[in-house]
Amino acid sequence: MFNAASYLVWMIPALAGLIFIYFFGSRRRKAIAALMGQPQTLLRLIPQESRGLKNKLQACALVFIFIALAGPQWGVELVSTQGRAHQILVAVDVSLSMLAEDVKPKRLEKAKEELSLLLEQLKGSRVGVMAFAGEAAILCPLTTDIDAARQILRALQPEAVGVPGSAVGNAIKAASDALRVYPGAKSLVLLTDGEDLAGRFAGKDKPLDAAREAAGEGIRIFTVGIGTPEGEPIPLRDDSGNLTGYKKDRKGNTIVSRLDERSLTEIAKRGDGAYFRLSPSHNEAGEIADRIRQTERGEGLASSANIYKNRFMLPLALAFMLLLIEFAIPESRRRQRLGGVAYLLLSLGAASPLQAASAESALRRGNKLYGREEYVPALTEYEKAGRKKPKDGRPLFNAGDALYRLEQHEKAASAFSAVAKSRAPVALRADAYYNLGNIHYQNGQLREAIENYRKALSLKPGDPEAQHNLAVALRRQKNPPPPRKDQDKKDKKKPQGQKDKPRPQDQKDSSQKQPPSSQPKTRPQDQISKEDAERIMRAVSEKEKAQQKQLQKQQPRRPEVEEDW
């Protein structure tokens, strides 16, 4: 396939133009030669065969140049990307006061509509959704999947949080806890009517204190007010949407919910942000997005993707070689001595791309041998590729994997360690740390295994296989199984790390389709027998149940909320 196939279309008129130039130039040369002397004498000085061969070489070189411009691609490689992104948590008030209809159709619906527009303008950032009333709950953890966050946002209802009321301070505190673990710029967009009813029981300044603490941790707070200062009663409706009355307090008085702009402005000021008020015509979402973009970006999540390899260097090298050959062909018999110099330049210029192509060829041969489980000859091919492209980490990584399969763990560890400490792509270094962890695990070095698994996760956060192996190693370190005679006998008969029925973990799923250059990864196996595993899990489950019962006895009963709107 081609990355820019349109260049192949332009190649046709370019060749036609070149042929016209050749034809027109040939006629001009003949006309000028006729004026200068005898044509037979000139033919002896300028051979026509040489001119025709030079024209053909130039035309072929032009074809290869256009092929290179079209960007030929074949083969797939796994690449890692790590961008820079903002971390934004959107906190939405879902208390009963958000059902007031002083903003049409009602406050909560208008809030969801406006925040959905905001998320649309924050593509490329990590966003999360939190709902709060008397307490706060993270409904969507930080993610780059904007569409998923918008879906969760559109589904928000007052019953999303079990505790009624309005506790703005608790929402800010919960958002700070969620954003604290992320580096770089962090922002909290707090959309509410500003009534902090639950906060009155813990002190009037609780939201301001929480905002000050969040700003100290580098979290900017943008408050968005919805509603009117005059306020509106809170309507109560049945399942069919019919109005049944208005919300009343315990004394029977109708509650009027008002927008508290003063508190929201002060929260934004303490949180080093800004206050915005939703209006029917103004574009608050665009203004908030612009203010967020002005902050410094933090590190983005590392991700991996399969992309086609660019192969434009091959046709470009062929075009260069053809032009050098064309230059080496003399136009007159006196220039024949220049041919040796041109061929020397040809060999020097073509050495680098040919050497790179040879390294790729050796790497592919090694991958095929590896796929056939012929690890010794595969190792030889990887060593050849490494000598020809010493800056490429793939041959060394694949050599380490072949050594691992040959149970030469010390040499494999040295290879993986070299890749991990090199300037190889992030994904390759993460896999090298991962495999180092596997080797240490099988050697019983749990502390070193845990350390390397954590390094792998720091380079590739969210890798499920590294997370699984880290959990296995931590569990083994905390609860080492008792030695069993039968099990020891079985282990002597089998290679270390293999069981009959564990989760298969010799390679990633993708490595079943990709050769070793796509980073196949060995897997440590949890060498606990099935009976021991079931016994440990039963013990853990019973212990957790006992702890839950104890916590329920100790936990104080939640006080009733007087102002539940």
Distance CA 121, CA 288 (A): 10
Highest mean pLDDT among 236-240, 406-410, 481-485: 406-410
**pLDDT per residue as tens digits for the range 551-565:** 555 444 444 555 666
User: DSSP letter at 231?
Assistant: -
CB atoms within 10 A of CB 15: 14
Percent of the chain whose predicted confidence (pLDDT) is above 70: 70
pLDDT of 39 reads 57
Task: State the average pLDDT over residues 365-392.
Answer: 87
75 or 80, higher pLDDT? 75
pLDDT of 251 higher than 60: yes
Task: State the average pLDDT over residues 417-444.
Answer: 90
pLDDT of 91 higher than 90: yes
Could you tell me where in the chain the CATH 1.25.40.10 domains are found?
349-484+506-531
**pLDDT per residue as tens digits for the range 120-132:** 888 878 899 999 9
Place 471 in a pLDDT band, splitting at 50, 70 and 90. confident
Task: State the average pLDDT over residues 142-165.
Answer: 85
Superfamily name with CATH number, domain 87-296: von Willebrand factor, type A domain (3.40.50.410)
DSSP-derived 3-state class of residue 80: strand
pLDDT of 48 reads 60
CB atoms within 10 A of CB 400: 28
511 or 71, higher pLDDT? 71
pLDDT of 341 reads 45
pLDDT of 323 higher than 80: yes
pLDDT of 563 reads 61
Q: Mean pLDDT over all residues of the chain? A: 76
The arrangement of secondary structure in 349-484+506-531, i.e. its CATH architecture, is: Alpha Horseshoe (1.25)
Q: Measure Cα distances from 86 to 43, 285, 296, 305, 374 in Å.
A: 73, 16, 8, 22, 47
pLDDT of 240 reads 82
Could you tell me where in the chain the CATH 3.40.50.410 domains are found?
87-296
**pLDDT per residue as tens digits for the range 19-63:** 888 787 777 766 766 666 555 655 555 556 667 788 888 889 889
pLDDT of 266 reads 93
Tell me, rounded to whole angstroms, the distance of Cα 433 from its chain centroid.
Answer: 18
Tell me if 259 sits within 8 A of 228, measured CB to CB.
yes
Phi, psi for 181 (deg, rounded to 5): -75, -10
pLDDT of 242 reads 87
**pLDDT per residue as tens digits for the range 432-461:** 999 999 999 988 899 899 999 999 988 888
Task: State the average pLDDT over residues 115-142.
Answer: 89
Place 346 in a pLDDT band, splitting at 50, 70 and 90. very low
Distance CA 46, CA 58 (A): 18
pLDDT of 176 reads 92
Distance CA 143, CA 125 (A): 8
Place 513 in a pLDDT band, splitting at 50, 70 and 90. very low
